[in-house]
Amino acid sequence: MLEPFRSFSMDIKLAQNEYGESRVRLFRVTHRGGLHEVKDLTVAARFEGSFGAAYMAGDNRAILPPDTIKNTVYVLARQYPAEAIEDFAFHIVDHFLTYNPQVSRLNLDVTERPWSRIPIGEKAHASAFVGNAGERRAARISATREKITLESGIEDLHLLKTAGASFENFLRDPYTTLESRAQTVFSTGLCAHWSYEFPEPEMPFSTMWHGIRKTLLETFAAHESKSPQHMLYALGHAVLDNFEAIVEIRLSISEGYCVLVDLKPFGMENENEVFAPAAEPRAIVSATLRRNGNLV
């Protein structure tokens, strides 16, 4: 058996460390008389800082327990019923950096699962909701006392188009068997995260989020796409064109193959009608578009 703890050699150093809480689940109801607003959030917070003694000597005096991070998220949710997750994130960052000198950087993720009011005839119900289990709204802050970066995003947006997508004239090598496709089904899960040149509390984050979501959907629908790369660039460009406050956008696509089923063995044509969606493998494409002159 090893005896690894006797002779820790002195030439090993702790090059990086981080700790925190990964899934604080938070559901908040705001009562405006009988009208209720709900927020269904998941928070992850991770600290970087001067924690070497904890790692090397088991000295926990600088370690605020992850359990306290959880409690603090609930307290702050009670104190600051922010509408936009970005504003809630600013409050969390402000709290931890103010009261924890041992923390040099806070990495924070807030993810929102959307709920819609149940429609009753023409009206929306005041306190009953139906879930949209798919896409998520996200905010990520990485903050020191000197500098704060904020990314907002949309995750797992499922999009597909049955016209206006092709893949042709690509590079062929001896192992290429794929045929050119002048018309394909383009089915994808999209993630987009954008950052602001000067992020500040009280910016109209929610208005922008809905505007960017609309821009992504309309651009996806309108674009004559010659490849996933071509599509991704168009999506990013449309967002930067239409939202001046956005300085950079990261996009990634995970494309499940929708294979046209060969029905010739059964004496049938199949003109882009019957497809077999493949679970694996999945093509992935990612890109970052940035406004020039920016040094981020």
Report how far residue 68's alpha carbon sits from residue 79's, in angstroms, rounded to the nearest whole number.
Answer: 16
Which one, of 203, 192, 196, lies nearest residue 245 by Cα? Answer: 196
From 80, 161, 243, 245, residue interacting with a copy of itself (rule: CB under 8 A): 161
Kindly state the tokens that stand for 138.
């996200």
Binding segment for a copy of itself (CB under 8 A), chosen from 85-93, 145-153, 192-200, 260-268, is 260-268
- Told to check if 146 binds a copy of itself by CB under 8 A, we report no
C-alpha of 53 from chain center = 34
Write out the binding residues for a copy of itself, residues 28-87 only, by CB under 8 A. Answer: 28-31, 34, 36, 38, 40, 44, 46, 51, 54-68, 70-72, 74-75, 77-79, 81
Q: Which is nearer to a copy of itself, 74 or 144 (CB)?
A: 74
- Told to check if 130 binds a copy of itself by CB under 8 A, we report yes
- Told to check if 280 binds a copy of itself by CB under 8 A, we report yes
The amino acid at residue 264 is K
Report how far residue 216's alpha carbon sits from residue 154's, in angstroms, rounded to the nearest whole number.
Answer: 10
Q: Which is nearer to a copy of itself, 145 or 237 (CB)?
A: 237
CB of 93 to a copy of itself, least distance (A): 16
The amino acid at residue 259 is V
- Told to check if 210 binds a copy of itself by CB under 8 A, we report no
Place of tokens 């699962």: 113
Which one, of 128, 109, 131, lies nearest residue 119 by Cα? Answer: 128
CB of 123 to a copy of itself, least distance (A): 9
Report how far residue 217's alpha carbon sits from residue 222's, in angstroms, rounded to the nearest whole number.
Answer: 9
From 120, 145, 202, 207, residue interacting with a copy of itself (rule: CB under 8 A): 120
From 105, 159, 201, 243, residue interacting with a copy of itself (rule: CB under 8 A): 159
Kindly state the tokens that stand for 7.
């002779």
Whether the Cβ atoms of residue 191 and residue 262 lie closer than 8 Å to each other: no
CB of 221 to a copy of itself, least distance (A): 3
Q: Which is nearer to a copy of itself, 203 or 255 (CB)?
A: 255
Q: Which of the 8 DSSP states describes residue 237? A: H
- Told to check if 182 binds a copy of itself by CB under 8 A, we report no
